[in-house]
Amino acid sequence: MADRFRGDVDHNVPRLVSSVDEPVRVWDPVHRERGVDATTRLVYCRNGDTMPWRKILIGLAVLGSLVVLCGYLVLSSAPFGAAATGGRLARIESHPRFRDGAFTNVEPQASSGFADLLTYLKSQFFYDEVRVPPNPIPVVPVTTEQTRLRAEDSLRAFWIGHSSVYVEIDGVRVLTDPVFSEYASPFDIGPKRFHPPPIALDELPKIDAVVISHDHYDHLDHRTVTALAEGGTEFFVPLGVGAHLATLFWAWIG
Protein backbone atom coordinates (compact mmCIF):
# COMPACT_ATOMS: atom_id res chain seq x y z
CA MET A 1 0.00 0.00 0.00
CA ALA A 2 2.85 2.35 0.88
CA ASP A 3 4.57 1.84 -2.47
CA ARG A 4 1.42 2.66 -4.42
CA PHE A 5 0.70 5.67 -2.29
CA ARG A 6 4.21 7.09 -2.69
CA GLY A 7 3.70 7.28 -6.43
CA ASP A 8 0.64 9.46 -5.93
CA VAL A 9 2.19 11.93 -3.50
CA ASP A 10 3.62 15.26 -4.50
CA HIS A 11 7.12 15.02 -2.96
CA ASN A 12 7.25 18.82 -2.58
CA VAL A 13 4.58 18.55 0.09
CA PRO A 14 6.02 18.49 3.62
CA ARG A 15 4.72 15.56 5.58
CA LEU A 16 5.31 13.69 8.80
CA VAL A 17 5.98 10.00 8.80
CA SER A 18 5.90 7.35 11.45
CA SER A 19 8.42 4.68 12.36
CA VAL A 20 5.67 2.05 12.34
CA ASP A 21 3.08 0.95 9.78
CA GLU A 22 0.29 3.20 10.96
CA PRO A 23 -1.50 6.24 9.56
CA VAL A 24 -0.22 9.67 10.46
CA ARG A 25 -2.15 12.91 9.98
CA VAL A 26 -0.18 15.56 8.12
CA TRP A 27 -0.67 19.11 6.93
CA ASP A 28 -1.05 19.24 3.18
CA PRO A 29 -0.97 22.91 2.05
CA VAL A 30 -0.76 22.03 -1.66
CA HIS A 31 -4.16 20.38 -1.77
CA ARG A 32 -5.65 23.16 0.31
CA GLU A 33 -4.40 25.78 -2.16
CA ARG A 34 -5.95 23.75 -4.97
CA GLY A 35 -9.34 24.00 -3.30
CA VAL A 36 -9.34 20.40 -2.18
CA ASP A 37 -10.87 19.89 1.20
CA ALA A 38 -7.97 17.81 2.37
CA THR A 39 -6.12 19.78 5.01
CA THR A 40 -5.27 16.43 6.53
CA ARG A 41 -4.57 13.20 4.74
CA LEU A 42 -3.65 9.69 5.77
CA VAL A 43 -0.12 8.67 4.91
CA TYR A 44 1.02 5.10 5.28
CA CYS A 45 4.72 4.37 5.52
CA ARG A 46 6.98 1.53 6.41
CA ASN A 47 10.02 1.51 8.70
CA GLY A 48 12.30 1.80 5.68
CA ASP A 49 10.52 4.98 4.58
CA THR A 50 10.96 6.94 7.80
CA MET A 51 12.70 10.31 7.97
CA PRO A 52 16.45 10.07 8.66
CA TRP A 53 16.23 10.90 12.37
CA ARG A 54 17.30 7.42 13.36
CA LYS A 55 20.35 7.59 11.10
CA ILE A 56 21.19 11.04 12.41
CA LEU A 57 21.00 9.86 16.02
CA ILE A 58 23.12 6.81 15.25
CA GLY A 59 25.67 9.02 13.50
CA LEU A 60 25.80 11.42 16.44
CA ALA A 61 26.21 8.51 18.86
CA VAL A 62 29.09 7.09 16.82
CA LEU A 63 30.71 10.53 16.52
CA GLY A 64 30.36 11.12 20.26
CA SER A 65 31.89 7.73 21.01
CA LEU A 66 34.86 8.51 18.75
CA VAL A 67 35.38 11.88 20.47
CA VAL A 68 35.32 10.23 23.91
CA LEU A 69 37.72 7.50 22.75
CA CYS A 70 40.14 9.99 21.20
CA GLY A 71 39.98 12.15 24.33
CA TYR A 72 40.74 9.14 26.51
CA LEU A 73 43.70 8.10 24.36
CA VAL A 74 45.11 11.64 24.34
CA LEU A 75 44.70 12.17 28.08
CA SER A 76 46.26 8.74 28.71
CA SER A 77 49.42 9.65 26.76
CA ALA A 78 52.71 10.27 28.54
CA PRO A 79 52.71 14.10 28.34
CA PHE A 80 49.61 14.20 30.55
CA GLY A 81 51.30 12.17 33.28
CA ALA A 82 49.63 9.74 35.64
CA ALA A 83 48.17 9.49 39.10
CA ALA A 84 50.28 8.18 41.96
CA THR A 85 49.75 4.55 42.95
CA GLY A 86 51.27 1.93 45.22
CA GLY A 87 54.15 2.96 47.45
CA ARG A 88 54.29 6.46 45.99
CA LEU A 89 50.63 7.02 46.86
CA ALA A 90 51.24 5.69 50.39
CA ARG A 91 54.07 8.20 50.84
CA ILE A 92 51.77 11.01 49.70
CA GLU A 93 48.91 10.01 51.98
CA SER A 94 51.23 9.72 54.99
CA HIS A 95 52.60 13.24 54.51
CA PRO A 96 51.52 15.60 57.32
CA ARG A 97 50.44 18.29 54.82
CA PHE A 98 48.18 15.88 52.89
CA ARG A 99 44.60 16.26 54.06
CA ASP A 100 41.21 15.34 52.58
CA GLY A 101 42.73 14.08 49.34
CA ALA A 102 45.00 17.06 48.63
CA PHE A 103 48.07 18.86 49.88
CA THR A 104 47.44 21.97 51.95
CA ASN A 105 49.65 25.05 52.08
CA VAL A 106 51.55 25.93 55.22
CA GLU A 107 50.00 29.40 54.98
CA PRO A 108 46.20 29.54 54.56
CA GLN A 109 45.11 30.33 51.03
CA ALA A 110 43.50 33.71 50.52
CA SER A 111 39.77 33.55 49.93
CA SER A 112 38.44 34.55 46.53
CA GLY A 113 35.02 35.36 45.19
CA PHE A 114 33.14 36.30 42.04
CA ALA A 115 34.66 39.80 42.02
CA ASP A 116 38.14 38.28 41.98
CA LEU A 117 37.14 36.10 39.04
CA LEU A 118 35.93 39.12 37.10
CA THR A 119 39.17 40.95 37.86
CA TYR A 120 41.18 37.99 36.61
CA LEU A 121 39.16 37.67 33.39
CA LYS A 122 39.49 41.39 32.78
CA SER A 123 43.26 41.20 33.20
CA GLN A 124 43.43 38.30 30.74
CA PHE A 125 41.31 39.75 27.95
CA PHE A 126 41.45 43.52 28.45
CA TYR A 127 44.92 44.82 29.17
CA ASP A 128 47.27 47.55 27.97
CA GLU A 129 50.64 46.12 28.94
CA VAL A 130 53.00 44.66 26.35
CA ARG A 131 52.96 40.88 26.73
CA VAL A 132 54.84 39.93 23.59
CA PRO A 133 58.28 41.41 22.89
CA PRO A 134 58.01 43.77 19.90
CA ASN A 135 61.51 42.80 18.77
CA PRO A 136 63.62 39.63 18.97
CA ILE A 137 65.28 39.16 22.34
CA PRO A 138 69.07 39.04 22.04
CA VAL A 139 70.54 35.79 23.32
CA VAL A 140 74.19 35.20 24.14
CA PRO A 141 74.96 31.67 22.94
CA VAL A 142 76.70 29.18 25.21
CA THR A 143 79.21 26.86 23.58
CA THR A 144 80.10 23.32 24.56
CA GLU A 145 83.58 24.57 25.42
CA GLN A 146 82.08 26.85 28.06
CA THR A 147 80.27 23.96 29.74
CA ARG A 148 83.43 22.01 30.49
CA LEU A 149 83.86 21.44 34.19
CA ARG A 150 86.04 23.80 36.10
CA ALA A 151 87.69 23.20 39.44
CA GLU A 152 85.80 21.19 42.03
CA ASP A 153 85.16 24.27 44.18
CA SER A 154 83.76 26.48 41.40
CA LEU A 155 80.30 27.91 40.91
CA ARG A 156 78.89 28.82 37.52
CA ALA A 157 75.39 29.28 36.13
CA PHE A 158 73.54 30.58 33.10
CA TRP A 159 69.88 31.22 32.46
CA ILE A 160 68.07 29.18 29.81
CA GLY A 161 64.60 30.70 30.13
CA HIS A 162 61.81 31.15 32.70
CA SER A 163 62.75 28.76 35.53
CA SER A 164 65.32 26.78 33.52
CA VAL A 165 68.82 27.35 34.87
CA TYR A 166 72.08 25.49 34.29
CA VAL A 167 74.24 25.35 37.43
CA GLU A 168 77.70 23.96 38.05
CA ILE A 169 78.45 23.68 41.74
CA ASP A 170 81.41 21.82 43.22
CA GLY A 171 81.90 19.88 40.01
CA VAL A 172 78.25 18.77 39.72
CA ARG A 173 76.03 19.83 36.81
CA VAL A 174 72.42 20.59 37.72
CA LEU A 175 69.42 21.76 35.69
CA THR A 176 66.34 23.31 37.27
CA ASP A 177 62.95 22.97 35.55
CA PRO A 178 64.56 22.30 32.16
CA VAL A 179 62.36 23.23 29.21
CA PHE A 180 63.98 23.16 25.78
CA SER A 181 60.82 22.67 23.69
CA GLU A 182 59.45 25.56 21.67
CA TYR A 183 56.01 25.33 23.29
CA ALA A 184 55.05 25.03 26.96
CA SER A 185 52.40 22.50 26.04
CA PRO A 186 51.95 18.76 25.48
CA PHE A 187 51.52 19.59 21.78
CA ASP A 188 53.20 21.90 19.30
CA ILE A 189 50.65 24.61 20.02
CA GLY A 190 50.05 26.94 22.93
CA PRO A 191 52.39 29.32 24.79
CA LYS A 192 55.52 29.73 22.70
CA ARG A 193 58.92 30.70 24.01
CA PHE A 194 60.15 34.21 23.17
CA HIS A 195 63.71 33.19 22.38
CA PRO A 196 65.64 29.98 21.70
CA PRO A 197 67.73 28.42 24.48
CA PRO A 198 71.33 29.70 24.56
CA ILE A 199 72.48 26.12 23.99
CA ALA A 200 70.73 23.21 22.27
CA LEU A 201 69.59 20.26 24.34
CA ASP A 202 71.81 17.81 22.44
CA GLU A 203 74.84 20.06 23.02
CA LEU A 204 74.61 19.91 26.80
CA PRO A 205 77.25 17.95 28.69
CA LYS A 206 76.26 15.06 30.92
CA ILE A 207 73.77 16.45 33.45
CA ASP A 208 74.14 14.90 36.88
CA ALA A 209 70.86 16.01 38.42
CA VAL A 210 67.58 17.69 37.49
CA VAL A 211 65.42 19.47 40.05
CA ILE A 212 61.76 20.00 39.08
CA SER A 213 59.60 22.29 41.19
CA HIS A 214 56.13 21.32 39.92
CA ASP A 215 54.34 19.80 36.95
CA HIS A 216 53.16 22.79 34.91
CA TYR A 217 54.16 22.50 31.27
CA ASP A 218 56.48 25.49 31.51
CA HIS A 219 58.41 23.66 34.24
CA LEU A 220 58.06 19.98 33.28
CA ASP A 221 58.75 19.32 29.60
CA HIS A 222 58.34 15.65 28.75
CA ARG A 223 60.57 15.82 25.68
CA THR A 224 63.40 17.40 27.63
CA VAL A 225 63.24 15.08 30.64
CA THR A 226 62.99 12.02 28.39
CA ALA A 227 66.17 13.04 26.56
CA LEU A 228 67.97 13.74 29.84
CA ALA A 229 66.85 10.46 31.37
CA GLU A 230 68.33 8.56 28.43
CA GLY A 231 71.67 10.08 29.41
CA GLY A 232 71.47 8.76 32.95
CA THR A 233 70.43 11.97 34.70
CA GLU A 234 69.02 11.62 38.21
CA PHE A 235 65.77 13.46 38.98
CA PHE A 236 64.67 15.10 42.23
CA VAL A 237 61.00 16.01 42.21
CA PRO A 238 58.13 16.68 44.65
CA LEU A 239 55.76 13.93 45.71
CA GLY A 240 53.27 13.29 42.93
CA VAL A 241 55.48 14.47 40.09
CA GLY A 242 57.35 11.18 40.24
CA ALA A 243 54.24 9.42 38.91
CA HIS A 244 54.33 11.65 35.84
CA LEU A 245 57.95 10.83 35.13
CA ALA A 246 57.35 7.12 35.61
CA THR A 247 55.11 7.20 32.54
CA LEU A 248 58.01 8.53 30.47
CA PHE A 249 60.86 6.29 31.52
CA TRP A 250 61.82 3.64 34.03
CA ALA A 251 64.34 5.15 36.43
CA TRP A 252 64.81 5.83 40.07
CA ILE A 253 63.03 9.03 40.95
CA GLY A 254 63.73 10.69 44.29
Per-residue confidence (pLDDT) for residue 33, from 0 to 100? 43
Determine the distance from the C-alpha atom of residue 80 to the mean position of all C-alpha atoms in its chain, rounded to a whole number: 7
- 63 sits in the region (left: phi over 0; alpha: psi -120 to 50; else beta) called alpha
Give the number of C-alpha atoms closer than 13 A to the C-alpha of residue 199, restricted to the C-beta side.
20
Question: Domain ends where: 13, 30, 49?
Answer: 49
Domain count of the fold of the chain: 2
Q: Tell me, yes or no, whether 97 lies in a domain.
A: no
Q: Tell me, yes or no, whether 62 lies in a domain.
A: no
Q: Tell me, yes or no, whether 130 lies in a domain.
A: no
Q: Residue 78: phi, psi to the nearest 5?
A: -55, -40
| Cα–Cα nearest to 146, from 138, 156, 154 | 156
CATH at residue 166: 3.60.15.10
pTM of the full structure: 0.66
Q: Tell me, yes or no, whether 120 lies in a domain.
A: no
Q: Tell me, yes or no, whether 87 lies in a domain.
A: no
Task: Tell me the pLDDT tens digit for each residue of 90-99.
Answer: 888 888 888 8
For residue 241, pLDDT beyond 60: yes
Q: Tell me, yes or no, whether 134 lies in a domain.
A: no
Q: Distance (Å, rounded) from C-alpha 90 to C-alpha 94?
A: 6
State the residue range of the domain holding 151: 145-246
Task: Tell me the pLDDT tens digit for each residue of 48-104.
Answer: 445 577 888 888 888 988 888 887 777 766 677 777 788 888 888 888 888 888 888
Q: Tell me, yes or no, whether 220 lies in a domain.
A: yes
Q: Distance (Å, rounded) from C-alpha 170 to C-alpha 80?
A: 35
Q: Tell me, yes or no, whether 226 lies in a domain.
A: yes
